[in-house]
Structure 1
Amino acid sequence: MLTSGNPIDKRKVTAGILNVGIDEPAGNLFRLTSGLSLRPMTKKPPLPPKLLAECQAANELYLSKKNELKLNKRKIADEIGVSPAAVAHYLSGVNALNVKFASALARLLGEPVDRFSPRLAAEIADLAATTDHSNVTPMVQPRREAREYPLITWVDAGAGIESAGSYPLGISDEWLSSTENAGPSGYWLRVKGKSMTSDTPPTFPEGTPILVRPEGFDIISGKFYVARHTVTGETTFKQYILDAGVGYLVPLNQAYQTVQVEGDWEIIGRAIDAKVTGM
């Protein structure tokens, strides 16, 4: 209960806002503070020109790529964990950009932070450099540059290619980019069949491009790999599961058969990235 020594006219108090008086203009409102002191509600001051320019640059970059990437403020908001209105405030210059928003926006747009905010790009780099000397993992990592890898056939994957240089630009049918490091021999494959389709994530429907690192990878239970049958030359994409010391190639679709990794099977690459299709 509010007490001030004088009775309060309940007609003048509504939802925490106190009207100056019945005869005062309806828009002339004051915020109710502790001790019943009153202060006018003031408009937020505009951002300094440098910070406003960052917001404008970010918005222009977003507008130039949103159709290509099928991106909207809702998707950005979901990625960061804020409301679409908050995203709009950043892009319109109501609120200044910060590291969290800038790094997430850059990642979604596939562009470096310095395209719209050299200030925050330097701050992210400083954060990463400082963390190198501590045992704390930074919340924001510097963006890795995307690299192009050839999309090849399963026959080529089974035969083994010496390097991505075997498919120079203009010869391979298609090249796809990724920020993941697949090494100098990395390549993309399109998933065949429905054995890796699942009702719950992860799922790799037929036609999904997967990026394969064929060299310098570890075999870890639960990760996804491309394997080749040494006799028939058949290649397959499955999840590797180690159970009681025995390795298995496991499909995500339970209608398909699990294969034990024996002498006739060898793992020839690890899938480290995939692209969502059909959106």
Structure 2
Amino acid sequence: MYNFDYTRAGSAEQAAQILTDDEDATLIAGGQTLIPTLKQRLAAPSKLVDISGIDDLRGITREGDRLAIGAMTRHAEVQTSDIVRDAIPGLAELAGLIGDPHVRHRGTLGGSVANNDPAADYPAALLALGATVTTNKREIVADDFFVGLFETALDEGEIVTRVSFPIPKAMAYAKHRNPASRYALAGVCVARLDQGVRVAVIGSGQDGVFRWEAAEQALTADFSTGALDGIEVDPDTLMSDIHGQADYRANLIRVMTLQAVGRLQG
């Protein structure tokens, strides 16, 4: 690691002010991505601003027809929450598929969302459910929040404080994991909402998480596995690497979508 200063913020406002005053400072929440990055000397922040002790950023509440989860809420808390299991059981199941027990007990919703790793699971849920990301400055709908690989609409000094999910009629998530890293080669979240069906894909897109609109239209008209017959993702829009070529990922996306739809049908 490179040398850096460390400070523990007492509030989101204090953390934001530190980031504004020092453009080389960075936040640390669960540290599941940042710490390995620092160890490999791939990042050299001047200061780490620890927000893990800010109680206002934690918690899970149901607010009418929406589920609100604080940014510092751990994956394991989402996985085991009775509130989440009652409102959006598919979201609890998704949280239980993240990483391993260590990652789930340290990693946070806000950190995952803000980092926007192309293989991260939560972005699929946010995009499929049409969630809203609340920051210390504004609210950003999921369709506008994720803008590219490891890129979001967050401005300098802007901190995710919570995420609000509309409670769907049903939601299911399926992913195919790399057997070594456990990251998704393809993950698909299918949500049935009053406005129709939304399908979000992670692990495969050249620009990160994306909506599969052709599948959404077909499933809105006929929610069945048969509705996906003849519908495929264009491989030219997908990534190829040592773990899987684009055409392989295109097939995985279709298979994972069929699995998710099949679970909801069952």
Q: TM-score scaled to structure 1, two decimals?
A: 0.28
Structure richer in helix, relative to its length: 2
Greater relative CO, 1 or 2 (CA 8 Å, sep 6+): 2
- Is the radius of gyration larger for structure 1 or structure 2? 1
